[in-house]
Chain A
């Protein structure tokens, strides 16, 4: 693959992305437009995150790529293979602890990240206002004026109609008491991890051509009302007991549920595969111990 530059992109493109990244860190939550090159994988498959990773990674850096919390998901493999191919000299890992850069789609790892780490999130919709205003030009103005009233009205209308806020993921989150961001399609479960995060969080939207950031030790507060607090996903069964992962037994991780194709029962498992493996190891337990919910 020697016909390609280190990191696939030419140096001018990488420089532009780094400049935009610095701007994004300097103005927490502000969506910095950038030209966004076409990558050899589909727009929507993480090209924004990929461009960030490729512009920031260097030799001897250790990279972890996850999709849906898993290192072995098809898209994670595809991205990791590509980065390895175009960035000779880097290391890859599945361990959250050992990674310098973590590129992720839809999850922030369960384990708290450290100051020297960097997480890159892939973003399909960079603007939280898109649910109330389709025009980008108008949204830009609303952000400029700090006008999030229509977003709050949407939350209020949800409460009136359904007695619940219906936003499940991509939960609008205010950064540093300023701009409201779309935190990428992470579940609500992961939003509190952004608040005062020790690691720098970078968000890249390739198709929509925006980069934004939550710098370390910065406030990230999900939009809510004084009398209606923000709530994460509930993993309790009907009797109110917290469900456990069927592999590792953890009762404090985000769970995926699926139907066992052999017995038709619903299975719950950690979405974060590295967390699950570590939890298993800590209890010197073999994975695949079944504790299926009836």
Chain B
């Protein structure tokens, strides 16, 4: 009965905020710096910005600090902030071939036009604890970056890199880009509810801000055998894409800034479909696409695999959970799933009273029958 029957619920409620603030500040010298969160907890920051669905690095840092590093809560706060901001203008479709690359790999070919670029990755780091980082002096900390810059040879990197997919298209292994892609207005999940069946753009938008763990779990089920995408990563790229808007006076497209994104294109085995058997139609590889804010490689790959799985499900009907648009898209949003999970902590006295009434009545009837 503690949190409803007793008066003073409001006081108790306000007390929780104070306790949280106490825990945040009771140890350590100073408050976490926004820049430190953004740069030193780079991947956490990326994850929150991507799930929050609004590219606001400063507020993402604040959300991480305010919610004590809880990714679900931090992303949630960004989303709620987003609800208060009116939409003023839409950018044209972004061209990711114009990306300023920080990392770019292909698992399909040993060499790709303009080369593989590993960049900064944990992939081949040994997961051994670096005990020296336990006690890192400010001087030592600053010296690391300086030394790295001194020892790194300056080379000219091309401004842009061609897409690996273009090569596959040239060879006739992938279908040409559909002209309709650029004409269809993408489904806006923030302004329209998902009413199934939904277009692919709605699925992609939902996955782009999905909770990383949920997306990974669904994709992993497909990888393991509840599905058969068997992807090859044609290209995974991380970098900064210019955001273009029409100039206020001239109307000319002008770069207003750039956003960091991760993009993944997977190629899957061709399908022996009726279309392919028709005349003038050859068998082709199929494509899965993933993209999200920030540096989130696992998320982009998971999304690309699921995109491929969902396209199959939309076409032939789902034969696995990961191919079922409703199953996937309604269960991967962190704000939704976390909110509903947490709500079970709220009082349910009335409904439980009602449950007890049903159980007791049923038990009485069973007792009568037994007598």
Chain A, Cβ-Cβ closest to B358: A168
Partner of B193, one of A13, A36, A137, A168: A36
Chain A, Cβ-Cβ closest to B10: A77
- Chain B nearest CB, measured from A34 CB (Å): 6
Bound Cα distance A135, B313 (Å): 14
Q: How many residues on chain B are close to A (CB under 8 Å)?
A: 57
| Contact yes or no, A187 B350, CB < 8 A | yes
| Contact yes or no, B10 A35, CB < 8 A | no
Across-interface contacts of B194 in A (CB, < 8 A)? 209
B125 contacts chain A at the CB level, 8 A cutoff: no
| Contact yes or no, A187 B80, CB < 8 A | no
| Contact yes or no, B340 A40, CB < 8 A | no
B-contacting residues, A91-136, CB 8 Å? 106-107, 124, 135-136
| Contact yes or no, B353 A45, CB < 8 A | no
| Contact yes or no, B84 A254, CB < 8 A | no
Partner of A10, one of B13, B86, B338: B86
| Contact yes or no, B12 A74, CB < 8 A | yes
Partner of A74, one of B3, B335, B353: B3
| Dominant SS among interface residues on chain B | helix
Across-interface contacts of B335 in A (CB, < 8 A)? 38, 43
A-B residue pairs, 9 tightest by C-beta: A43-B339, A44-B343, A42-B339, A38-B79, A33-B193, A37-B83, A168-B354, A40-B80, A44-B340
- Write the residues of chain B forming the contact surface with A, with a CB cutoff of 8 angstroms: 1, 3-5, 7-10, 12-13, 76-77, 79-80, 82-87, 189-197, 326, 330, 335-336, 338-344, 346-351, 353-358, 361-362, 365-366, 369
- Write the residues of chain A forming the contact surface with B, with a CB cutoff of 8 angstroms: 4-5, 8-13, 16, 33-40, 42-45, 47, 67-70, 72-78, 81, 106-107, 124, 135-137, 140, 162-164, 166-170, 185-189, 207, 209-210, 233-234, 254-258, 261, 269, 271
List, sorted by A's number, 27 A–B pairs whose CB atoms are closer than 8 Å. A8-B84, A35-B193, A36-B193, A39-B83, A40-B77, A44-B343, A44-B344, A67-B346, A67-B347, A68-B349, A72-B7, A72-B9, A73-B3, A73-B9, A74-B12, A74-B13, A76-B9, A137-B326, A162-B365, A168-B351, A170-B351, A185-B351, A207-B336, A207-B339, A207-B340, A258-B1, A261-B1
A68-B4, A170-B351, A271-B353 known, 17 other contacts, Cβ within 8 Å: A8-B83, A9-B83, A69-B350, A72-B7, A73-B3, A73-B347, A106-B351, A137-B196, A137-B326, A162-B362, A162-B366, A166-B362, A168-B357, A169-B354, A188-B354, A207-B340, A258-B349
